[in-house]
Structures are given as C-alpha cells and as structure tokens.
Structure 1
Amino acid sequence: MKNRPLKPVTTTIARAMLAILLLSVVTTSFALLTLASSLNDAEAVNVSGSLRMQSYRLAYDIQTQSPQLNVHLDMFEKSLFSPSMAALEHWTVPTNIKKHYYNLIGRWEDLHPLLHNGNERLFLSEVVNFVDRIDQFVYELQEFSIIKLQVLSVVGGLGLSLILIAALFTIHFTQRKIVTPLNQMVTASEQIQEGKFDLTLDVKSDNELGILAGTFTTMAAELGKLYRNLEMKVDEKTRRLRQANDSLQVLYDCSQELSQSRLSTKNFAVMLETLLDIEGLTAAKLIIEESTGNNTEIIAGQPSGNNWHYHDLELDGQVLGQLWWQDTLPCPDKNLIENLSHTLARGIYYNRAQKQSEQLLLMEERATIARELHDSLAQSLSYLKIQVALLKRQQGQEDQNQAKAIISDIDNGLSGAYTQLRELLSTFRLTIKEANFGEALVEMLKPLEEQSHALVLIDNQLSSLSLDAHHQVHLLQLIREAVLNAIKHAQADEIIVTCQQELDTVTIKISDDGIGFDPASEKLNHYGLAIMTERASRLLGNLEINTTKGAGCEITLQFQPEFQG
C-alpha cells in the first residue's frame, strides 16, 4: 500500500512487550518449578535427621530390654518409608541422593532381621555405621537444597535484568518515536486553533507517526481553505436561522391562540397579525366558509392592488375556507404558509366542534329534564286529574265520605308533586366545581349528610383519569339520588358509598342499614328508581337493587368506561 509504514510502531512495541512477557513467563515458571521441587526438601531433612535419633533409641531399647522396642521399630519404618522420603524418587532429585536413599533402605533390611534372630549385639555394633550413613544422607539433602536456591537466585536475577533492559528500550523508543512527534502535533493543533493553518511538521520517521505528520500538514492546508469558505457561508446560514426562528415564533404564537378555551374572530385576527411578522408578507386575508353562504372575512395589513395568492384551508378532505396573502421580495417560505394554513384549518374545525358540543350538551340536558319531569310530575298531575274527575262525579251524590277521601288523595298528591318538584329543582341546580371525582363526591354528599342524622361513609378507590365529564356527571347524580332515597325512606343510621375499579370495570355501591323494602310491593313507576335506571342505561351499565324488608338496601352499578368512547 502507498501509505503503509516501513517500521510500524505497533510491531516494535509488540515485540518488546512479547520479549518482556516471555522473560517473565520463563523466570516465573523456573521459580515455580524450583519451589515445587523444594517443598519436600525441608520435611525430608527433618525426617532424615529423626532417623538418627530413632536409631540410637532402638539401641537403647535393646540394651535396657524396653517393652517399647516393637513400637519404636514401627515408628522407625514409618519414618524411613514416609511420603516425604518416598518423594525423593522424583525425577528432579539427583541420582546420588536416590542411590544413597536406596542404600539406607537396603542396610535397614539387613539390620532389621537381627532383632528377631537374637543377634542384638551385632545390631548394636552396626548402629554407629548406620547412623554415619544417615548423617551423610542428610548432608547431601541440605547441599541439594542450597544449590537449588542458588540457581533460583541466579536465574531470577538474570531474568529481572533482561526484563529491565527490555522495559528501558520500550520507554526510550516510545519517547523518541511516539511522544516527540505527538508533542509536535499538539503544538500544531494549538496553532490551528489560533487560526494559523500554514505550518510544517519536522517529523522524519518511517512509521505511523511519520505518515500521520505528513497527513496532518496536508490537512492543515485543506482546513485553511475550508475555513475561508466557511466564513463566507456563515452570514447566509445566520440569515436563514434568523428566518427559521421567526417562523417558529409565528407558529408558536398561532398555537398559543389555538390553546384558548373559546375561539372567536378576535383570535383569528390576532393570528393574521402574527402572520404578517413573516419577512416578505404585506397583507393577509382569512375567509371562513359557512354552509349558508354568509362567509366571514378577516383582513390584516394594508392590501394593495389585486395581486393575491391563496391556499385552501382543508382538513380531512373538507375545505373550511381560504388564506389569502400579498408578498414582496424576499419571497416568504411556502412551507411555513402551508403549516399556518393547517393551523388555521384546525382552529376553524375546533371552533365548530366546540359549538356543536355545547349544543349537544344543551339538548342532552333538556332531554334529561323532560324525561325526569315526565317520570315524576307528569304522572303525579295525571293522577290528580283523575282524582278531580272522580270528585266532580261525587258532587251530585250524597256520599260525602267518599268525596272527603278523594279530596284527601288530591291533597296528598299535591304535596307529593310539590316534594318531587323540589327534589328535581335540587337535582337540576347541582353544580360540580371540582374536576377531581373524589373531591366532587365529598362536596356533593356533605349537604345531604347535614340534613340527616345518618352517618355517610365514603370509600373511593376510583381514579378520575378513567372518567370523562360525561361519566362523572351521571355517576354523581346517580349516587346523590340513591343517598337521598336512603335518607328519606330507609331510616338508616349508616350509609356507605363505595367506588372502585377492577381492570376495565367500574363498580359503584350504595348500601344502608335501614328498614329496606319489598320490591314486589313497591310502585313500578317510582321516579327515584326510574331516574337511576335511566342514568345507568345511558352509561351502558347494569344496575342491581338488592333489598328485603327489614334488612337494608344495596344498590350496585357496574359499567366499563372504555366502551363509552
């Protein structure tokens, strides 16, 4: 290759490191082998020395006819054939030591039978010679250990010296061939940082650093050219960035206007005034189309002539109006105008959807009022109308008791209708100030608890995040109706309201310890239960009423909020 170094730095350093590694491995391996072979030397010397003392003890036992003779014989043989002595047969042990050890074993095998043949005196005469051989054996073992330690010291010192020489060579080579060129390049980099690109590095090496120095010099010259070209482009980039920043500011201001809770023509006028901040725009006009043909037109700026451009305000395939503008040089950013058109289209769509939602809510509430009036007052008034007709028939008859009974029914019906009217008015006047379901529930039940001696307990484990405004209103109204019925009719001492959610199912329970009632004997058109059933059906839920006379009442509502969306 053209730029391949003749003497790579990595190769030289790798060879030096490899030499150091090999020397370390050789020295360490020799030391480990020597130490491994010396592990048994000390024990062998000690055991050999004990053989002398045991030999004299055997002689003493013979002379004194000690009963411990056999025991001491066994101990002598265990020492002579101990593992430390048997290890002397290893290949690292010199031949003369092995031979001497085998001679000791052979001499003992000659002396040992004398003790059993009654030749104790002959044994005693040979003990001195046997002990001399043991002394010579111990001396040879000690000399062998000393020689191994001396060889280990020489080899270790030689290996350490060679490792030191290789390390010094590596340091010198690194300083001369790597550190010095790198210092020159660091100085050159500082000059480049100061804007001085005309430089030359004096690095004469046939390795990677020499090639890098030459490449660095060439790169500095090229950087000088690029730096001068970059200075010429900075002003253009700065101008574009300023224009982009202005565009982002316009989009942000328009988005802020769209974040208002209620949009009006004033908001759209402000957005048009913001649009004129774009460089090149002189006038803008917004036309909002209506199905009746009465289009709304909003103008900002100072129009001049008829040189207009326009862009349709389209959302989901529906044209909601047009954005018209007049411009001069420099021409405004077309993409920005297109984005603003989409923003205005979303604003118009949001305004219409907001109005439609308000109308639907109003119509829904009116329908609720109509249903609840029909289920309560309408039936009571119908009942009173029938009673009045009966009363008219009794005017010409002499049965005054029946007329009084009818008048009493009319009076009770009027009282009941009046009570129902007051309850409906209280229901319609109920306001929910808190967005949090738990706080709204406490606020709603607090005045009801003050109207009765019953203790109202609330166990709410339901998160407001799982409920939208539609769910929250109907749940609060249903709970209020159930608690109100318990206060009025159940004669309860304790009313418990439990709200919880398991997986996707919301469960609402209202239980009391009152007198309860028999569902079979109650009026099928009781307006309180009818209202609760109606609200449960609007939640697509299931309402259950569990009660028996004298055993309290429990009302359970279950529904799944996700199915409502």
Structure 2
Amino acid sequence: MNVKKSVTTRIARYLITVIIFAGIMTTFALGIMVSNRSDAEQINVSGSLRYQSYRILHNLRNYPDLLYQDLREYRKSLHSLSLSQIDTQILVPKELKSAYHDLIASWGKMEKIALERDMNAYDANLADYVSQVDRFVFALQRFAERKLIITSVVIVVSMLLIIALVASITAFVKKQVAAPLQQLTRASVQVQMRNFQHVPLDVNRSDELGNLAQAFTQMSSELSKIYSNLEERIAEKTQKLTQTNRTLSMLYHCSQALSGMDTNSEHLRGVMKNVMLTEHLRALELVLIADDTHILLGEPSENFNWQSVDVGDDNNRIGELRWQTGLPCPDPRTLENIGQMLGRSLYFSQTQRQQQQLLLMEERSIIARELHDSLAQVLSYLQIQLTLLKHNLNKDAPDAKSKSLAIIRDFEQALTGGYTQLRELLATFRLTVQEANLKLALEQVIDSLRNQTSIRMRVTCSLPSHVFNAQQLVHALQIVREAVLNAIKHSKANLIEVIAHTNEDGEQEIIIRDDGVGIPSLDEPEGHYGLRIMEERSRQLNAQLTIKNRPTGGTEVCIVL
C-alpha cells in the first residue's frame, strides 16, 4: 500500500493543516489583542496631558510654588511606559510615531516658557499645543480601531477558511471513507443473509479500504464455496443420520419385540418384515437349525449375491440370517446386530423354556416329597390300622370289641390329622406372589392368616425387593407362612412379629417371633413335618434356619440369607 495514497494519512494531514492554520490565526489574533491591552491606557494618559497643561497655567498664576512639581508630573505622564511603547510596538504607523515625537518636542518649548514664568507666552501657545495633543489622541484612537478591524477581519477570514477546510475534509471523508464503508456494510449484511453475490466493491483502490474490499470479496467468495460444500455435506449427513435414526428405531423396536414376546414363527416374521422395510432389502431369509424353521421374505434374484451372518455365537450356533441388498445398501453391522439379537432372543427363549421345565420338575419333586412325608405316611398308617382292625374283628376274644373301637379312634384321629395336613399343603401350594415388592408380599401372606386367630400380627420390612428372585421369594414366603401357622397353633401368644431387615453384622435376615409359651423341643411329633419342610426350603434359599426360645418368652425363627 502506498503511504501517499493512504486514507488515514491524508485525513491526518488535512487535520494537521487545519490545526496549524488555526494556531497561526489564533496566535496572530492573540498578538493583536495583547497589543490592544495598552491602547486604553495610552488614550487615557494622552488625554490627561490636556488637563495637566491647563493646570500648569492655573498654578502658574495662583500657585507658582507648585510649578516644578507640575512639570515633573507632566513629564512623567508624557514619557510614561504606555506612551513609550509606541516606538516598540508592531504595526504602529510612522505618522503616530512622528506625532508622538513632535508632541515631545512641542512640550519642550512649552516647558521652557513655563520655567521662564512667562504666563502670557504660555497662554498664547497653549491652544496650539492642546490641538496637537488632540490630534495625537485621535491618532491613537484610529490606530486602536484599525487594530480591532484587522483582528476582526483575521478572525472572520480564519473561520471561513477553517469552515472551508472542514467542509473539504468532510466531503473527502464522505466520498473516500463513508461511501466505501457503507458499501462494505451492505455487502456484509448480504453475506450475513447468505447472499454471497453482494454489491460490487471498489477493489482497484490502493488504500486501506481497497485492501479491505479485496479481502472481503475474497472472503465472501471462499465462504460461498465453503457454504456450498457444507450444504452438500449437511444434506449427506442428514440423509445418513435419518437412515441411522430409522435403523436405531428399528433396532430398538426389534429389541423390544424380541424381549417381550415368545419367539414363534409369526413373531419372527413380523420382526424380519420390519428389518426388511427399514434397510431396503430385496430378500431376507432366516434358517433355524434346531426346529427346521425357514422364513423367507421378499423375492430373491439370481443377479444379486446372498450375504449372511450366523444367528447365535461360535459355541452355540442356532441358525443363519441371509439377505440380498437393495438401494441404498444397508450397513452390514446392522444385520450383524439383528443376527445377534435374534440369537440372544432364541437362546433366551430356549433357556427359559428349559428353566420353566426344570422349575416344574423341581416343584413336582417338592410336592411329591411333601406328600410322601405327610399324606403317604398317614395313609400307610391308616392301612396298617385297617389291617389290624380286620384282624381284630376276626377274633372272638372278649376284648376284641374294645380293641376295635380303640383302633377306630386312632383311625379317626389319623384321618383327621391327614385331612388337616392336606388342607395345609393345599394352602401352601396355592400360595401366589402378586407383588414383586417384598413388604407387600409379606403383608399379603399375613393378611391371609388373620381370620384364623385373634392374635395380633405385625410386619416390619426394610429389605429391598431385589433380595429374592421369583422362585426364592415363594420359598421365603412359605417358610414365613409355616412359622406363623405354628405360632398360631401352639404359641398361645398375644403378638406375632415378622421382621425383614439387615442385622448388626450386615447380614440380611427374616425373623418370625412371638411372645407365647415357647417351643418345648425341636423334635417334631409323629405325623408332623412342618419343621422339616422349613429346613428343606431354607436349603433351597441357601440360607441358615435357626429356631430357638426367646429369653423373654416365646419362640424365634430366624432365616439368615
């Protein structure tokens, strides 16, 4: 950039010129005004010379002793500092200087006459001398007025010149600075509105604004290219994100569908149809090895190759998922995820069915064992008693009738006990868990027993519900029910408490306690199997069962998990 053509340099030069010119004019005006400071004193002093000359004439007649004093005062006024500056002041005309020197010379003659005390001669020359003083005073006045006129003219001319310079600078700034900046502002607004074909800028200038216009034009051109590229990339990314969003939504719905229902053929067909529509597949085929399931969607073409992934993992290959791609081509990872989801769902469904079968078999084993330990033994006892009764009825002994009646009484007692045990077993096996919440489940169990007794019963639970799974929760509730039933039958208590909490050792435990008479022995009577069933279920829970008498009275059943 040429410094001579720099806008800021030119404006700075113009402003410096205005300042220098204003300074010169101000200095000149101030000089004239300083010189005018003594004009009034000069006129005043020169005007007083007339009075003093008449006073000398008066004192010469009446007070001749004051003559020398008057002459000294007159000479002092005539040669005062203000009048003496006439010879040294700038712009003082020669006529004023000559008039001042003539006045001094004329006074020398008048002073000589006064010293000779010639009053008539002094009086005769006084009028001419006073006229000369008047002319001198008038010359001083005209000189002062001339300086004021010159000062006014200088100030007016200076103001006009300054105004002209400022106007020219303003016009220059408006043309060379404001107009280009206005164009640049309009261009920036257009670029801000994404209109990169902005108003043309003057890029041929060799000053700062020209360089700025060149840089702005180049920047807008590059921005136009970048913006066009970004629009294409954004459109591409938007399309990819839309497809990704559809894929993620499809994966989510497939995951929900595969985890919430039984994986039968119709269910799998619905999931595959969703995958096929979302990923724009020509054909999709699922082949399962275990049950020879074959599901084919779409119309395969020999012109396209099949792609496939295994359903399941390396250790447990369940089947194969095959597909033919369309446009746009799907991400292979999506189909791999679908294959993994199908494998997990099918494996989970198969495992769940096996688990249900195992649970059913285990529950049947428990039912068979408890029936064997209770009703089977009762029925065996009844069979023995029946045999004894038949054998005794065939005897003709005198005491046969009394023995038969005793056997019948035992038979009735055993039958009543068996019926009671059957009802308890039915109530136990009909126990269901309607709530996943442990506290609510405990309260439901206790509420089902309140109608069998007048004993107060209370439940306190601070254990989280995830302590047990569904199977373990059933075992825990059956142990609690059996312990509460025993307390209702045998404790003669006023209060039965069920407490589920974390003890001081950090162990989770369930306590069933009463304030009754306590348990006399842990050996069950013949034909009673409640404690044995509780121990069996505790082992199923991997818990420790403890039954003991409380120091304050009553029985405490504690299950430490």
Calculate the TM-score normalised by the size of structure 2.
0.60
1:319 to 312, 317, 339: 317
**Aligned CA distance change for structure 1 residues 316 and 558 (closer, same or farther; 3 Å):** farther
Equivalent residue letter for 1:334? P
**Aligned CA distance change for structure 1 residues 551 and 325 (closer, same or farther; 3 Å):** same
Q: What is the rounded CA distance, in whole Å, between the counterparts of 2:387 and 2:293 in structure 1?
A: 59
**Which string of whole-angstrom CA distances, capped at 9 and with x for unpartnered residues, describes residues 36-60 of structure 1?**
xxxxxxxxxxxxxxxxxxxxxxxxx
**Which string of whole-angstrom CA distances, capped at 9 and with x for unpartnered residues, describes residues 414-455 of structure 1?**
111111011101111122212211112212211211121111
**Aligned CA distance change for structure 1 residues 241 and 550 (closer, same or farther; 3 Å):** closer
**Which string of whole-angstrom CA distances, capped at 9 and with x for unpartnered residues, describes residues 146-167 of structure 1?**
xxxxxxxxxxxxxxxxxxxxxx
1:43-192 to structure 2, matched below 5 A, reads 189-192=188-191
**Aligned CA distance change for structure 1 residues 194 and 549 (closer, same or farther; 3 Å):** closer
1:298-313 to structure 2, matched below 5 A, reads 298-304=295-301, 308-313=306-311
Q: What is the rounded CA distance, in whole Å, between the counterparts of 1:223 and 1:549 in structure 2?
A: 90
1:351 to 343, 349, 352: 349
Q: What is the rounded CA distance, in whole Å, between the counterparts of 1:183 and 1:485 in structure 2?
A: 100
Root mean square deviation of aligned Cα: 3.4
> Residue in 2 aligned with 1:248?
248
**Which string of whole-angstrom CA distances, capped at 9 and with x for unpartnered residues, describes residues 303-357 of structure 1?**
4559543321123632111112233444333222222212221221122122122
**Which string of whole-angstrom CA distances, capped at 9 and with x for unpartnered residues, describes residues 187-212 of structure 1?**
76533222344676999999xx9999
**Which string of whole-angstrom CA distances, capped at 9 and with x for unpartnered residues, describes residues 112-151 of structure 1?**
xxxxxxxxxxxxxxxxxxxxxxxxxxxxxxxxxxxxxxxx
> Residue in 2 aligned with 1:377?
375
> SS of the counterpart of 2:252?
helix
Q: What is the rounded CA distance, in whole Å, between the counterparts of 1:201 and 1:513 in structure 2?
A: 105
Pairwise CA distance, 1:510: 1.1
- Structure 1 residue 542 corresponds to structure 2 residue 544: yes
Pairwise CA distance, 1:274: 0.7
Asked whether the 8 Å contact 2:202–2:210 carries over to 1, the reply is no
- Structure 1 residue 239 corresponds to structure 2 residue 239: yes
Q: What is the rounded CA distance, in whole Å, between the counterparts of 1:548 and 1:336 in structure 2?
A: 64
Equivalent residue letter for 1:194? M
**Which string of whole-angstrom CA distances, capped at 9 and with x for unpartnered residues, describes residues 348-374 of structure 1?**
112212212221221121122112112
**Aligned CA distance change for structure 1 residues 347 and 549 (closer, same or farther; 3 Å):** closer
Ranges in structure 1 where 5+ consecutive residues have no aligned partner: 1-180, 560-565
**Aligned CA distance change for structure 1 residues 337 and 211 (closer, same or farther; 3 Å):** farther
1:137-536 to structure 2, matched below 5 A, reads 189-197=188-196, 218-290=218-290, 294-304=291-301, 308-315=306-313, 317-395=315-393, 396=395, 398=397, 399-400=399-400, 401-502=402-503, 505-519=507-521, 522-523=524-525, 526-536=528-538
Pairwise CA distance, 1:548: 8.1
Equivalent residue letter for 2:190? Q
Equivalent residue letter for 1:480? R
> Residue in 1 aligned with 2:97?
none
Pairwise CA distance, 1:214: 7.8
Q: What is the rounded CA distance, in whole Å, between the counterparts of 2:499 and 2:210 in structure 1?
A: 83
**Aligned CA distance change for structure 1 residues 190 and 457 (closer, same or farther; 3 Å):** same
> Residue in 2 aligned with 1:46?
none
> SS of the counterpart of 2:448?
helix
Pairwise CA distance, 1:232: 4.1
> SS of the counterpart of 1:228?
helix
> SS of the counterpart of 1:277?
helix
Equivalent residue letter for 1:246? R
Q: What is the rounded CA distance, in whole Å, between the counterparts of 1:248 and 1:541 in structure 2?
A: 44
Asked whether the 8 Å contact 1:391–1:407 carries over to 2, the reply is yes
Query: In percent, how many aligned pairs have the same letter?
Result: 43
> SS of the counterpart of 2:454?
coil
Q: How many residues align?
A: 375
Q: What is the rounded CA distance, in whole Å, between the counterparts of 2:550 and 2:260 in structure 1?
A: 54
> SS of the counterpart of 2:449?
helix
**Aligned CA distance change for structure 1 residues 245 and 512 (closer, same or farther; 3 Å):** closer
> SS of the counterpart of 2:260?
coil
Pairwise CA distance, 1:182: 12
Pairwise CA distance, 1:302: 3.2
Pairwise CA distance, 1:479: 0.7
**Aligned CA distance change for structure 1 residues 222 and 457 (closer, same or farther; 3 Å):** same
Ranges in structure 2 where 5+ consecutive residues have no aligned partner: 1-179
**Aligned CA distance change for structure 1 residues 355 and 406 (closer, same or farther; 3 Å):** same
Asked whether the 8 Å contact 1:515–1:549 carries over to 2, the reply is no
Segment drifting more, 195-204 vs 341-350: 195-204
Q: Which of the pair has more CA radius of gyration? A: 2
Pairwise CA distance, 1:524: 7.1
Equivalent residue letter for 1:270? G
Q: What is the rounded CA distance, in whole Å, between the counterparts of 1:436 and 1:189 in structure 2?
A: 67
> SS of the counterpart of 2:329?
coil
